[in-house]
Structure 1
Amino acid sequence: MLLFYISYSPQFYRTIRLDRGALGLGFSIVGGFSSPHGDLPIYVKTVFGKGAAIEDGRLQRGDQIIAVNGHSLEGVTHAGAVAILKNTKGTVVLTVLS
């Protein structure tokens, strides 16, 4: 008899505040409504070696970004999510599902 164990890690919401500095937020995203792979949530694709995300240390590859400064990303295109992130100045408050 073969037994398979599924590793389950509970998901949880958290709020991450990043102060956009000269190096930017320091992460890229993937997904979005009408993406080439279908309608997907917005996820963190890469956390760069420089920028607010790496300095803070909490944002991880694979985190789903639910909202930016209270603005929901549900149903937003990839380009729309990029625009929201780029146009948000100063402190950026991310609601993420990890």
Structure 2
Amino acid sequence: MNSSIYKRQNQHICPICGVTMYETGGGLTVLGNIVFHSVAAFIIWFAVTVGVQELLNLSNSASANFGLVILVLVTILYIAKRFFGFAISSLFKNRKPWQ
């Protein structure tokens, strides 16, 4: 089934026994990635903002700014991990992340 969020997944069926041998394709499209990551970013921002506001008794604007800073940090770490293979544990080791 074609969708604007997911790529189509193909099943390769054995012509002799009729069992699915393997599957190819599938996953999120570019639009699906944008939607998924935008929703995840909003959830992280909202959770941090509400949590900090209740925990530290901050005003709405101060907690929103703090939530935005945390969201930017999480985004930087996510991009570093996903595209460059950088892990948080490599900050505490003497090895370089690309070795």
TM range (shorter): under 0.3
The structure with the greater share of residues assigned to helix is 2
The structure with the greater share of residues assigned to strand is 1
TM-score (norm 1): 0.20
Larger radius of gyration, structure 1 or 2? 2
Structure number with the bigger relative contact order (C-alpha 8 A, sep ≥ 6) is 1
TM-score (norm 2): 0.20
